[in-house]
Structure 1
Amino acid sequence: MQVLRAVATSGSVTAAAAHLGYTPSAVSQQVAALEKEAGIALLERVGRGVQPTAAGRLLTRHAAIISQHLAEAETALADLRAGRTGRLTIRYFASVGPTLLAPALARFRGEHPGVAIDPKLSDPDDPLPEVEQGNADLAIVVRGPGDGSHPGIRVVHLLDDAYQAALPAGHPLAAQRVIDLTDLAGEAWVGSEPPGPCLEPIIDACAAAGFSPDFVAKSEDYATAQGFVAAGLGVSLIPRLGLGTRHPGVTIRRVRRPEPIRRIYAAVREISLTQPALRALIDALMDAAKE
């Protein structure tokens, strides 16, 4: 159809061939093939040139529209390839939202204002299946040493988030700057994590120290856990990223021997790493993690 348009615009097969870089016979053959497919004459001779018939004018108008749409599609595709446009869906858990994801998105939006971002809280569900199924482009996850690999999924280490002891104000151990984990063995405990990858580092560290924590109260959010500690129900371990807001009745101290740590990663599909926008988002998350 674009060959027909060139002939109709230039008024001759020879001129159209010169503009397109074809031979006149090649142009004539393409027009003849199009006429056969359309079942009607598309060009008619006028003097030494040609002009489109009514059917030819109809197809020529549509050819112009198609050409415009193709150009727009090529431009849109080039923008998408370059990371200037598109949409990225993110899954994250609560404690990384304000401390890690927010600054990363602020930087990313400044560098890629044309890319739409769709962040969604995934607690308490594991967001990795959403990445595997293509429902999310990136998920921020906690992975343990024993977690197996997932075919087609790349995990990028962002940071190690250490757990710290939350003690009631006036607790005898509050006078120490650093607490050995074994010092908490005989205490009543307040759970701060739901069962899953964030609780495992606490259980594993306590096991390495030779005891199992005695949970007398459980909470699945850090603010409530601190409230329980402040009320004197027990001690707790809360990750550093979960301590953005501290209860005035709670004292926070570092823990050692061993220090429980949850390891935080960005999970993406291997095939998606060809997208410049997604790579830029990972870079922004890594820089926010360093800060």
Structure 2
Amino acid sequence: MLDVRRMQVLRAVVTSGSVTAAAAHLGYTPSAVSQQIAALEKQAGTTLLERSGRGVRPTAAGRLLTEHAAVIGRHLAEAETALAELRAGRTGRLAVRYFATAGAALVPPALARFRREHPDVRVDLRLVDPDDPLPEVERGEADLAIVVRRRGQARDGVRLVHLLDDPYLVVLPRAHRLAGARVLDLTDLADEPWVGSEPAGPCREAVLDACGAAGFSPAVAVESEDYPTTQAFVAAGLGVGVVPRTALDSPHPDVVVRPLRHPRPVRAIHAAVRETTLDQPALRGLLDALRHAAAARH
């Protein structure tokens, strides 16, 4: 295989017309340049230079390799420029995974801000509900994932960047006996039929843990795995629902929403990224944009 570095030495000799001049331009000794040319001729299996007066000129094979060396030189320069742009966060691609309510609440404003600051970085978004996107981050298939996890609950090699504590609110039919209260204790719902609003996973765990701390397990009368359907079931009088605040930007017209306490169920929303990627400017820019979007919801 031909050595690219030696081809560039050949190019320097051909363009300057002599080994001595090429050595001066390259910062080598003439002997070192001659050794590089000799090694390249051995690789090529043919003579590349011939004497011409006090200098040298390329053979047909030497001209051929010099032309290719020029092309390679241009490509290397382009690659170095592209790499510098990527390292600076001005170009590249980020693969992002998110769940539905985070998509509606955090991702649109964060992405708009990020694109203003990094217009040439491509962001590939994919909704993953109800799957857990954390394994994709671990395997390097995704650069960032929006996840619900307890604080400090991470895996080796993955950093959880806290974005938002998202409290759950109770959704009641307008005619419900508790609808007139300004705030409800979680125990007020202990004897009520519930509309299940969470699939199995960290979000449901946050609700069940809070209920356990209050001393009861919710009696689920009907299951729903998305929040708009949960609100519709509640409006129809099939039970009460407990829904995170980020999912209640557009409440159903036939329900009332009230805060909960003692205890208040909360899900912690994080951005999951690999530890080894945190020095990437584009990824840091996206994290900053997500933090800004989360702060705007307080």
Q: TM bucket by the smaller chain?
A: over 0.9
- Of 228, 249, 252, the match for 2:254: 249
Quote the offset at 1:40 in angstroms: 1.1
Q: Determine the structure 1 residue equivalent to 2:278.
A: 273
Q: 2:182 aligned with 1:173, yes or no?
A: no
Unpaired runs of 5+ residues, structure 1, are none
Q: Determine the structure 1 residue equivalent to 2:228.
A: 223
Q: Determine the structure 2 residue equivalent to 1:37.
A: 43
Q: Determine the structure 2 residue equivalent to 1:6.
A: 12
Q: Determine the structure 1 residue equivalent to 2:219.
A: 214
Correspondences of 1:126-141 after superposition (within 5 Å): 126-141=132-147
Letter in 2 for 1:103: P
Give the percent of matched residue pairs that are identical in Structure 1 and Structure 2: 69
- Of 261, 266, 274, the match for 2:266: 261
Q: 2:296 aligned with 1:288, yes or no?
A: no
Letter in 2 for 1:9: T
Write out per-residue CA displacement over residues 33-92 of structure 1, whole angstroms, 9 at most, x where no aligned residue.
Answer: 211221211111112221101010000001001101111111111111111111111111
- Of 139, 151, 160, the match for 1:155: 160
Q: TM-score, normalised by structure 2?
A: 0.95
Q: Determine the structure 1 residue equivalent to 2:188.
A: 183
Q: Determine the structure 2 residue equivalent to 1:15.
A: 21
Write out per-residue CA displacement over residues 118-150 of structure 1, whole angstroms, 9 at most, x where no aligned residue.
Answer: 1101101111111111111111111136x7431
- Of 49, 57, 69, the match for 1:51: 57
Quote the offset at 1:272 in angstroms: 1.1
Structure 2 CA distance for aligned equivalents of residues 257 and 37 of structure 1: 79
Write out per-residue CA displacement over residues 104-123 of structure 1, whole angstroms, 9 at most, x where no aligned residue.
Answer: 11111111111110110110
Letter in 1 for 2:293: A
Structure 2 CA distance for aligned equivalents of residues 269 and 217 of structure 1: 38
- Of 235, 239, 249, the match for 1:234: 239
Q: Determine the structure 2 residue equivalent to 1:121.
A: 127
Letter in 2 for 1:231: A
Structure 2 CA distance for aligned equivalents of residues 98 and 108 of structure 1: 16
Unpaired runs of 5+ residues, structure 2, are 1-6
Write out per-residue CA displacement over residues 268-287 of structure 1, whole angstroms, 9 at most, x where no aligned residue.
Answer: 11111121111111111111
Quote the offset at 1:172 in angstroms: 2.2
Structure 2 CA distance for aligned equivalents of residues 3 and 223 of structure 1: 68
Q: 2:103 aligned with 1:97, yes or no?
A: yes
Q: Determine the structure 1 residue equivalent to 2:93.
A: 87
* 3-state DSSP of counterpart to 1:264: strand
CA RMSD after TM alignment: 1.1
Structure 2 CA distance for aligned equivalents of residues 103 and 148 of structure 1: 27
Structure 2 CA distance for aligned equivalents of residues 7 and 241 of structure 1: 67
Structure 1 CA distance for aligned equivalents of residues 190 and 84 of structure 2: 60
Q: TM-score, normalised by structure 1?
A: 0.97
Structure 2 CA distance for aligned equivalents of residues 239 and 148 of structure 1: 20
